[in-house]
A and B are shown apart, each in its own frame.
Chain A
Amino acid sequence: QLQLQESGPGLVKPSETLSLTCTVSGGSISSNKYYWGWIRQPPGKGLEWIGNIYYDESTYYSPSLKSRVTILKDTSKNQLSLTVSSVTAADTAVYYCARVNQVAGNPGLLDYWGQGTLVNVSS
């Protein structure tokens, strides 16, 4: 059974860099059948897609975050990482990593999720 687990600091100061790791078990992030995404959810609000990283390590980021976000993968550790620079209170959210699948020609299916980790941006 595939499992994803986010980890990282729960508190980040404004203007600093938020760094999170997603550890994947029960499957390899090297598989060319899937890609991997990060999504966030401010408290009490909706979901915002942050970006994806593909088999060949290419990435696509939400235009609204592109200048501040980096997604990487470490295949030796079976981990993904997310960094968001120059954070503000608006970046306070639960951050999720997810497997992105394609079934019967339908891309972008978030079929496995981590449990999420809350990051608070505050001084």
Chain B
Amino acid sequence: DIQMTQSPSSLSASVGDRVTIACRASQTISDSLNWYQQKSGKAPKLLIYGAFSLQGGVPSRFSGSGSGTDFTLTISSLQPEDFATYFCQQTYSIQYTFGQGTKLEIK
């Protein structure tokens, strides 16, 4: 199965900061990479699909990039509601797998 590794595992930042989260696949997955946001006690929410396409209703400060094995999620200017855990997910293989998550905390 395809392993997904996120970095960092946790990150402290301030409102207004630009933040980048990385996700690496153990083999090439083209652009079959999605990002989810999960707030405490809630279900995950789809943010980005196909590596860079913004899901409807998601603010434009979120963006995704990458292809092959290396991907990034960028938040251009952190807002208070963005402090959450973020997961990447590959759908290149029918055996969908997720990264371990990156917890974004307030500095």
Contacts and interface: CB of A to CB of B under 8 A. Distances in A.
B84 to A, nearest CB: 14
Interface of B: 1, 31-32, 34, 36, 42-46, 49-50, 53, 55, 87, 89, 91, 94-101
Interface of B is mostly: loop
Contacts of B43: 96, 98, 113-116
Contacts of A110: 34, 36, 44, 46, 89
By DSSP majority rule, is chain A's interface helix, strand, loop, or mixed?
strand
Contact of A109 (B34, B87, B100): B34
Interface residues of A, number: 22
A26 interface: no
B64 to A, nearest CB: 12
Given A63-B95, A109-B49, A110-B44, A46 B36 contact: no
